[in-house]
Copies of this chain bind each other. A is one copy, B any other.
Amino acid sequence: LQKKGGDNTHKNERVTIKDVAERAGVSLSTASLVLNGKGGVSDITKEKILKATKELSYRPNHAARSLRASNTKMIGLLIPDILNSFYSEIIEYVRGEIERQGYFLILGITGNKSENEEKYISEFVYRGVDGVICVPQLTYVQNTSYINLLDDYNIPYIFLADNYEKNESPYVMCDLYKGNFDMADYLLQLGMRKLFLLVGDKRVDMPYIQGYRDAFKKNKLHPDDSCIYETAYEFESIQSVAEVMIRENPEAIMTISDWMACATMQEAIKHGIKIPSELSVTGYDDVIYSRINQTPITTVRQPIQEMCTIAVRGLMSMIRSSIKPEPIILEPKLVIRESTKY
């Protein structure tokens, strides 16, 4: 009866499957069979075992099960930032689908630092996740070495919402280029000409820029790269850049996130500019900010829920049958609200 060994100060005598088996008067392995829903056990013994389980309020030990079965029923989600609504929506939808599939989600939040990606992937490997979903932190110099770790350990993974160039891994994302093309086209069709674009890093946000440029061409106009501005992520940084832009008297400012749009609008209003009558501002993603903003924001909707569901199912097919899904690119959709003049 040396049940309470070591420094096991808390966790008194836990009831194990052995206790259940004993109480039911069967062998340990039969109990295991029943508790895992495998067939080949008579109804009568099954009954006894289930009864014993209830009476002892037995709960399986996850560590033991994982060790033996070498799976954990855990999926790791690597994500840049939880304070950003776009990402928290992703977390929410991924979590929903993951749990529906009988798995449990654990999170690696990199805090927008790509250096941290490897750290959390490491943690995932250590904790033995059965699969990984990566929402990458895009940077100009792409450090994708953490993918090797996953490959080494044969852990299936899929990219979500974004992906690295020259990377063979499966991914599901929205057509970022198309979304910005549509938005620019919409504004141009409205007759606007002095149309600015605000991005994060020009090298990283190329798809948005390309969409913007191509919309000009489609309308037989010449895009002017001096109308493209860059900003850091912080609200205040965005506002300083917005201030600079505003001085040029644009008719519209397109941004690549609703967050940027919020900051830009706040800055414009501070300068006494009326939205949308004097200036149109647009966002991207269609997260909660765009709806609850005092002037609801015209934006491009990414089909977040759909993306997440597809990504999870793709990952599941890799886990369960080693079938690697094809890359998937979903259509964005323009959402016209009140921050654009019409």
Which residues of chain A have a CB within 8 Å of any CB of chain B? 6, 8-12, 14, 57, 59-64, 66-67, 70, 72, 82-83, 85, 88-89, 91-92, 95, 104-107, 109, 122-123, 125-128, 152-156, 235, 259, 262-263, 265-266, 269, 288-289, 291-295, 322
Could you tell me the distance between the alpha carbons of A289 and B292 in the complex, rounded to whole angstroms? 9
Q: Which residue of B lies closest to A9 (CB)?
A: B322
CB neighbours of A59 from chain B (8 A): 122, 125-126
Could you tell me the distance between the alpha carbons of A279 and B289 in the complex, rounded to whole angstroms? 23
List 17 A-B pairs, Cβ < 8 Å. Answer: A11-B70, A12-B154, A57-B152, A62-B126, A62-B128, A63-B63, A63-B72, A63-B128, A64-B67, A83-B89, A104-B106, A104-B127, A105-B107, A106-B107, A107-B107, A235-B291, A294-B294
- Is A83 a contact partner of B11 (Cβ separation < 8 A)? no
Q: Which residue of B lies closest to A318 (CB)?
A: B10
CB neighbours of A104 from chain B (8 A): 106, 123, 127
Could you tell me the distance between the alpha carbons of A302 and B292 in the complex, rounded to whole angstroms? 22
How many copies make up the complex? 2
CB neighbours of A60 from chain B (8 A): 126
Could you tell me the distance between the alpha carbons of A104 and B72 in the complex, rounded to whole angstroms? 16
CB neighbours of A85 from chain B (8 A): 83
- Is A154 a contact partner of B11 (Cβ separation < 8 A)? yes
CB neighbours of A263 from chain B (8 A): 292
CB neighbours of A89 from chain B (8 A): 83
CB neighbours of A105 from chain B (8 A): 107
One of B72, B91, B293 near A82 (C-beta < 8 A): B91
- Is B288 a contact partner of A83 (Cβ separation < 8 A)? yes
Could you tell me the distance between the alpha carbons of A85 and B155 in the complex, rounded to whole angstroms? 33
CB neighbours of A9 from chain B (8 A): 322
Q: Which residue of B lies closest to A91 (CB)?
A: B82
Question: Which 5 A-B residue pairings sit nearest by Cβ, starting from the closest?
Answer: A10-B154, A63-B66, A63-B67, A294-B294, A262-B292
Q: Which residue of B lies closest to A67 (CB)?
A: B63
CB distance from A29 to the nearest CB of B (A): 15
- Is B292 a contact partner of A61 (Cβ separation < 8 A)? no
Instruction: Given A83-B88, A153-B11, answer yes or no on A128-B294 (Cβ-Cβ < 8 Å).
Output: no
CB distance from A116 to the nearest CB of B (A): 11
- Is B95 a contact partner of A109 (Cβ separation < 8 A)? yes
Instruction: Given A292-B263, A294-B294, answer yes or no on A61-B155 (Cβ-Cβ < 8 Å).
Output: no
Could you tell me the distance between the alpha carbons of A152 and B14 in the complex, rounded to whole angstroms? 10
Could you tell me the distance between the alpha carbons of A62 and B95 in the complex, rounded to whole angstroms? 23
Extra contacts, 15 of them, besides A83-B85, A92-B109 (Cβ < 8 A), are: A6-B70, A10-B154, A14-B153, A62-B126, A63-B63, A63-B128, A82-B88, A83-B89, A104-B127, A106-B106, A106-B107, A235-B291, A262-B292, A293-B294, A294-B294
